[in-house]
Amino acid sequence: MFDKGEYSFSTCWNIKRHTVGREMIDEIKSLGFRYVELNYNVTEEFMKTIEPMIEHGEIGVSSVHNVFPFIDDKDYDTDSVMLGFDDEFKRQRSVDLLIRSMEYADRYGAKAVVVHPGEVPFEYNIDSELKKLYREFGKDSEPYQKLWSEMLERRERLSPIYTQRIQESLEKVCDHAAQKGWNIAIGIETRSRCYQMPSLMEAKTICDNLKGSPVGLWYDIGHAMMMDRMGLYDNLKELKEVTRYITGVHIHETLELSDHWCPYVHSKDMEYFNHFLEAIDVAKVKVYELKAACQPDEIHESHQLITGNIAALKALSTLKTMNG
């Protein structure tokens, strides 16, 4: 077993393989992880056997992923208008559900809650159609560019409205957290669909406007890579502008438009992922968010490459400082 230190591991990897919470956590522990992120599919039933493990110090919780525990309601799932709903009742319900997730995070000693804050709504899943065109004809093709322009026009026109709503909802949550004295970061996550929010610059706007609050950027590396490929933003350029806002990271790599693979190992590219090492290093919470297809030996190899490369970068930086 390789001890993974401060690094955490999301239950999204193996939750579909288990019906008992303890067994799911034990499998993650067998990989060498001392911490887990409890994802949004973890039910109250799972928690009956996980809570004693937390209480006895068998496992630490780095973060919980809103909405937590799982609720069976499509209006508030991970692909939802959520904190930006037009309907005030639905928006308040989203605020209440995030507060509920934070209560659990506080109970379990977690450092952060990961939040999918919202989206610019479309009548259908335009992202799915765009990805289909991307795969069939390529990013520079006329069919892709035509539909992309339509998506972008609506997204850019409506983004300020939904950014404002999301911000106001987060303010309510922050006020409640302050009253409770919770020391929990709220990480607004970069998303995997082009109409979802926030983009990196939308996240920067929200963080700037809520300066001094617990709201920060949850930088999902694989999702940001995917949005860069589709053309939503310049990931590497904008990452430099938002690194200081990062509170947490989801560590995974994207192959074309397929995400949640082991960095370096599945892409066979030993250089490109180096662009994200600083973001991982500065993040207070570092979580692997990998798909079930990732095997233990691949997870170990990926982790060794990431930590080894970060150590090498730091050694080089120290050497440069010493040499003036």
Predicted confidence at residue 42, as pLDDT, reads: 97
Task: Judge whether 250 and 286 are in contact, CB under 8 Å.
Answer: no
> Token digits for 33?
């992880």
Whole-number Å distance between alpha carbons of 197 and 267: 27
pLDDT at site 1: 60
Helices (H), 108-234: 126-137, 142-180, 200-209, 221-230
Gap between the Cα atoms of 12 and 260, Å rounded: 10
Q: Which residues of the chain have pLDDT under 70?
A: 1, 324
The pLDDT assigned to 2 comes to 82
Q: DSSP labels for 244-298? A: GGEEEEEE-EEETTEEEEPTTTTT--SSGGGGGHHHHHH-SEEEE---TT--HHH
pLDDT value of residue 19: 96
Contacts of 242 (CB under 8 A, 6+ apart): 200, 203, 204, 217, 219
Task: Determine if the peptide bond prior to 198 is cis (ω within 30°).
Answer: yes
Which pairing describes strands 8-10 and 35-38: parallel, antiparallel, or unpaired?
parallel
HEC assignment per residue over 33-64: CCEEEECCCCCHHHHHHHHHHHHCCCCEEEEE
Tell me what pLDDT residue 257 has.
Answer: 96
The answer to whether residues 269 and 305 touch, using CB atoms and an 8 Å cutoff, is: no
249 sits in which H/E element: strand 246-251
Q: Which 3 state secondary structure label does DSSP give 187?
A: strand
Note the pLDDT of residue 89.
97
pLDDT at 322: 77
Count the neighbouring beta carbons within 10 Å of the beta carbon of residue 117.
32
DSSP string of 125-161?
-HHHHHHHHHHHH-TTSHHHHHHHHHHHHHHHHHHHH
Note the pLDDT of residue 323. Answer: 76
Q: Which fold has domain 8-322?
A: TIM Barrel (3.20.20)
How is the chain split into domains, by residue range?
8-322
d(CA 77, CA 277) in angstroms, rounded, equals 30
- Total residue count of the chain as it appears in this document: 324
Per-residue confidence (pLDDT) for residue 324, from 0 to 100: 64
Which neighbouring-strand residues pair with 220?
250
